[in-house]
Amino acid sequence: MKFNLNTLDAEDPLAAIQSQFLLPQGTIYLDGNSLGMMPLSVKSRIKDVTEQQWAVDLITSWNKHQWIDLPVNVGERIAKLIGAAPGQTLCCDTISVNLFKLLAAALVMQQGRNKVVSTTDNFPTDLYMVQGLEDLLGQTRCQLQLVEESQLASAIDDDTAILLVTEVNFRTGQKLDIAALTAKAHKHGALVIVDLAHSAGVLPVALDDWQVDFAVGCTYKYLNGGPGAPAFAYVATRHQEAMQQPLYGWMGHANGFQFDVNYQAAADARQLLVGTPSVIAMSAVDAALDVYDQVTMTQIRQKSMQLTEVFLALLSASPDCAQLRCISPESPEQRGSQLSFEFEHAWGLCQALIKSNIIADFRAPNYIRFGFAPLYNSYRQIGTAVAEMAQIMAEKRYLNPEFQVKNKVT
């Protein structure tokens, strides 16, 4: 692969977008897959929401500034990025809580079946949600069946109630074929719940076309909504009448402001709502989505693949980095927007990089993970990051005592 980093930056159709983010001086941020950088639009929006809407307009803002419609309005903006027609996507709660609601609802729809098939390597909270339902309902109603990722398709059979699958593996970056898995699940009468945590905002997703039944995803990773920003949930129109999720909250009531003593679910996707939306956080998500009005998911995907290819090419040209074993798929089509490497001293390497203002993250037991955010990462940054990493490897700086101290959050 022959390339010139300056030319790649000069010809990058997304290069101008970088200036819409707050970029800390000297920092190369390769962690947008854990917490996206802050779009400048968020800064001004938060100022308005706190200093005008909350401080001055107070409770009238629920109507005046449409606070009450944020879950639906922000949900619809996310819907456009995940191939969902209107009326199916809401912004609310966290991935974990949304999964609980959807898993429970899907189990009710699958009377007579109890198996929830997922992968050993799925993000733990996804599996914990199934385990919690298992303990609550008993194994006759819910039973988690874990298989290796490569065995997922063949594990689906006529006993499968739900296929719970994350499109992009958070450790390896392996991207699964959701359309094919969904087709297979449906052939056997199973329902599909897809986790888009590492897809939303960085990969073209086509939930409606793929015929996915339910989906969840978060907004603080590639969508840059801010730390702890509310997640999203999707329920296909065809299931909205039959479904019943167990967290009966007044926001999911057909008529919450009637303050009726009895619960009656909204007939549409809004039944997924539970309590009062987190207005400040959700306003931040709304503002963060503005940048997506100026770009296409195809542009983002192309740059994402190119960034990872450049990173790998530079790395393989450096003998000092030979000890880093890439655990992500070789083909850019088969991975998300990240690269992960196994290395005995991955923790120390990650800390040494952070000391040099190159932010990556560590995943137990010994992986270093780089996330590539096409909206604000440049090709030159990739060059600088790999050069610094080669230097650290050559000097074995990852062994320095100061880089051995473990933090609470990795």
Ligand X SMILES: *Cc1c(COP(=O)(O)O)cnc(C)c1O
Choice from 195, 213, 286, 361 touching ligand X (CB under 6 A): 195
Q: Which stretch binds ligand X (CB under 6 A): 93-101, 155-163, 304-312, 331-339?
A: 93-101
Instruction: Based on the shown chain and the rule CB under 6 A, indicate whether residue 123 belongs to the binding site for ligand X.
Output: yes
- Tell me the per-residue interface mask from 203 to 222 with ligand X, x by CB under 6 A, - otherwise: ---------------x----
Residue 233 pairs in a beta bridge with 90, 216
Catalytic hit among 341, 369, 379, 397: 369
Entry field: residues in the chain? 410
Choice from 20, 61, 73, 125 touching ligand X (CB under 6 A): 125
C-beta separation of 148 from 122 below 8 A: no
Choice from 96, 302, 366, 384 touching ligand X (CB under 6 A): 96
Q: Per-residue b/e over 109-124, b at no fewer than 16 CB within 10 Å?
A: ebeebbbbbbbebbbe
Q: Which stretch binds ligand X (CB under 6 A): 39-47, 88-96, 184-192, 292-300?
A: 88-96
C-beta separation of 194 from 123 below 8 A: no
Cα separation values, 152 from 180, 181, 371, Å: 11, 8, 25
- Tell me the per-residue interface mask from 135 to 174 with ligand X, x by CB under 6 A, - otherwise: -------------------------------x---x----
C-beta separation of 372 from 336 below 8 A: no
Choice from 198, 345, 369, 397 touching ligand X (CB under 6 A): 198
- Tell me the per-residue interface mask from 24 to 63 with ligand X, x by CB under 6 A, - otherwise: ----------------------------------------
Instruction: Based on the shown chain and the rule CB under 6 A, indicate whether residue 90 belongs to the binding site for ligand X.
Output: no
C-beta separation of 143 from 116 below 8 A: yes
CA distance 23 to 382: 15
Whether 195 is catalytic = yes
Q: Which stretch binds ligand X (CB under 6 A): 48-56, 123-131, 297-305, 312-320?
A: 123-131
| Greatest pairwise CA separation for the chain in angstroms | 70
CA distance 390 to 393: 5
Pick 126 or 286: Cβ nearer ligand X: 126
Q: Which stretch binds ligand X (CB under 6 A): 15-23, 131-139, 190-198, 325-333?
A: 190-198
Choice from 197, 274, 284, 324 touching ligand X (CB under 6 A): 197
Whether 398 is catalytic = no
Instruction: Based on the shown chain and the rule CB under 6 A, indicate whether residue 231 belongs to the binding site for ligand X.
Output: yes
What are the phi and psi torsion angles at 340 (to 5°)? Answer: -125, 145
Choice from 12, 126, 286, 361 touching ligand X (CB under 6 A): 126
* Contact partners, residue 75, CB within 8 Å, separation at least 6: 89, 90, 91, 92, 232, 269
Q: The tokens of 244 are what?
A: 């019943």
Is the sign of the CA dihedral 234, 239, 244, 250 positive or negative? positive
Q: The tokens of 129 are what?
A: 């949600």
Residues that bind ligand X (CB under 6 A): 94-96, 123, 125-126, 166, 170, 195, 197-198, 218, 231
Positions marked active-site? 123, 195, 220-221, 369
